């Protein structure tokens, strides 16, 4: 009887041992079945972020139809449907600030308050600039600042914008001219190449007039109520989601253009506010002056794009008779050169902000600036003075520097910029391109 018990006990031990060995082998085999890569704020990192590092698990993506679930108790992934070898999984984490913005909207706070509060918690993607206005800006090479304001293309897909930041002391003309803090956004993709302004050959050599209040591009982007006179070529086509003809070359040359699926939707226009834009510039042409702060101050100054040329005799390329202004009232504009200067982030931010934007190719400035164009050059709203012409405008090149371009340059793209009403809230989203912030009116 004792011998049987011993044999039985030995048999049980053997079975348990074999089970453990088999389980261990299967576990090791399963571990070999997949590879994991980790991403924090869309940037690949060497190891999985820890639970106490102020991050949140966002989502996981695997090939071979495998599924990722997150075990918060042990802070690790549970991967199911591992039916094939060499499965690859990507685990994505975000800083906690992203979830705070979502809660901010759900708690009823306005968009401006949300981003100002979150700038205190996120110094990597949001930063106060060095201006007297103390604006809050998105910085770096790839911040999660995508926003959906209601624009849709012909197939119902959202036309995304990106948040430049919270701008303070903006004159809100829809609210009696009060100075307020407003959210400034830029369309994520350009609306293609259009001249800033063009003219007949007899006016400024055919290269346009560098005064935004009468510019052809201004008329294309805005409702006809912001400029006087009869509708001209391109007038209000983007604002009205219409088709017609637009200026694309010097000497008044134009072509067919269609904004019926890419212009502003009625839902988006309800969220946009009319403001007073600054259209001032430097007193003279000197690219060594073009630091972010000096340019910001010049944009808000009293000089225009023609006075230097006029003071030098009014040559052939500055013979227009257009009155110059340093402010403009309207809905849709373009970025300022200083917006590009202050968008730089990373370890080079302090170095870059202190140098001329004409030199942003050095010290990796352009590589740490999300406003750098991906292909073609992009217009700004700001005129540029010259002693020999009145058609120069600041623009941002595809190589990442601010320089001068003729208003009728045919190879420069337009990215509309608007300000949102102070009553707009963010009700969901993380700011990623796939899950943008969703803007909603109160």
- Average pLDDT of the segment spanning 9-33: 44
In sequence order, the β-bridge partners of residue 46 are none
* Confidence category of residue 16, pLDDT binned at 50, 70, 90: very low
Instruction: Give me the phi and psi of 95, to 5 degrees please.
Output: -65, 150
How many CB atoms are closer than 10 A to CB 111? 28
Q: What is the pLDDT of residue 216?
A: 95
Query: What gap in Å lies between CA 218 and CA 198, rounded to an integer?
Result: 12
Q: How does 187-222 read in b/e, with b if 16+ C-beta sit within 10 Å?
A: bbebbebbbbbbbeeebbbbbbbbbbbbbbbbbbbb
- Look up residue 153 and give its two tokens: 């293309």
CB 397 within 8 A of CB 389: no
Could you tell me the residue ranges of all domains in the chain?
31-97
- Average pLDDT of the segment spanning 341-368: 95
Q: What is the pLDDT of residue 57?
A: 84
Q: What is the pLDDT of residue 23?
A: 38
How many CB atoms are closer than 10 A to CB 116? 19
**Which residue pairs from 27-36 have beta carbons closer than 8 angstroms and sit at least 24 positions apart in sequence?**
30/82, 32/85, 33/82, 33/84, 33/85, 33/86, 33/87, 34/62, 34/66, 34/79, 34/82, 34/86, 34/87, 34/88, 34/89, 35/86, 35/87, 35/88, 35/89, 36/77, 36/88, 36/89, 36/90, 36/91
Query: What gap in Å lies between CA 101 and CA 124, rounded to an integer?
Result: 15
What tens digit of pLDDT does each residue of 244-290 get?
Answer: 999 988 888 888 999 999 999 999 999 999 999 999 999 999 999 99
Of the candidates 424, 437, 428, 440, which has an alpha carbon nearest to the alpha carbon of residue 182? 424
Q: What is the pLDDT of residue 253?
A: 86
Q: What is the pLDDT of residue 21?
A: 37
- Look up residue 261 and give its two tokens: 């699926």
- Average pLDDT of the segment spanning 161-185: 96
pLDDT at 7 over 70: no
What tens digit of pLDDT does each residue of 186-219 get?
Answer: 999 999 999 999 999 999 999 999 999 999 999 9
Q: What is the pLDDT of residue 5?
A: 53
Higher pLDDT, 33 or 120: 120
pLDDT at 111 over 90: no
Of the candidates 419, 421, 407, which has an alpha carbon nearest to the alpha carbon of residue 339? 419
Mean confidence (pLDDT) of the chain: 87
Higher pLDDT, 52 or 269: 269
* Confidence category of residue 354, pLDDT binned at 50, 70, 90: very high
């Amino acid at each position: 009887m004792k011998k049987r018990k011993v044999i039985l006990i030995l048999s049980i031990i053997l079975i348990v041992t074999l089970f453990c060995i088999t389980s261990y082998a299967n576990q090791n085999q399963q571990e070999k079945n997949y590879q994991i890569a980790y991403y924090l704020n869309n940037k690949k990192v060497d190891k999985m972020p820890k639970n106490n590092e102020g991050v949140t698990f966002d989502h996981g993506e695997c090939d071979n139809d495998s599924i990722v679930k997150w075990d918060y108790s042990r802070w690790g992934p549970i991967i199911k449907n591992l039916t094939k070898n060499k499965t690859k999984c990507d685990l994505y984490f975000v800083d906690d600030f992203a979830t705070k913005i979502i809660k901010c909207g759900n708690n009823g706070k306005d968009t401006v308050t949300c981003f100002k509060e979150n700038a205190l918690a996120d110094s990597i993607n949001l930063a106060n600039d060095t201006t007297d206005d103390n604006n809050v800006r998105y910085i770096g090479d790839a911040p999660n600042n995508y926003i959906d304001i209601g624009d849709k293309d012909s197939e119902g897909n959202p036309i995304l914008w990106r948040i430049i930041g919270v701008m303070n002391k903006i004159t809100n003309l829809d609210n009696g001219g009060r100075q307020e803090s407003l959210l400034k956004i830029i369309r994520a993709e350009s609306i293609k190449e259009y001249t800033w302004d063009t003219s007949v050959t007899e006016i400024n050599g055919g290269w346009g007039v560098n005064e935004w209040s009468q510019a052809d591009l201004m008329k294309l982007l805005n409702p006809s109520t912001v400029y006087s006179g009869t509708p001209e070529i391109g007038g209000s086509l983007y604002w009205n989601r219409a088709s017609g003809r637009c200026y694309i070359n010097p000497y008044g040359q134009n072509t067919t253009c269609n904004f019926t699926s890419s212009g502003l939707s009625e839902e988006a226009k309800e969220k946009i506010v009319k403001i007073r834009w600054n259209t001032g510039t430097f007193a003279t042409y000197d690219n060594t002056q073009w630091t972010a702060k000096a340019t910001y101050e010049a944009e808000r100054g009293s000089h225009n794009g023609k006075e230097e040329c006029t003071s030098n005799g009014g040559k052939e390329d500055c013979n227009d008779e257009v009155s110059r202004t340093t402010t403009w009232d309207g809905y849709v504009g373009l970025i300022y050169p200083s917006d590009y200067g202050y968008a730089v982030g990373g370890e080079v931010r302090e170095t870059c902000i202190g140098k001329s934007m004409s030199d942003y190719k050095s010290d990796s400035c352009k590589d740490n600036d999300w406003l750098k164009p991906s292909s073609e050059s992009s217009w700004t709203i700001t005129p540029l003075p010259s002693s020999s012409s009145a058609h120069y405008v600041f623009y941002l090149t595809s190589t990442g520097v601010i320089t001068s371009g003729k208003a009728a340059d045919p190879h420069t793209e337009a990215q509309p910029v608007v300000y949102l009403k102070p009553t707009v809230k963010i009700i969901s989203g993380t700011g990623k391109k796939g899950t943008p912030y969703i803007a909603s009116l109160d």
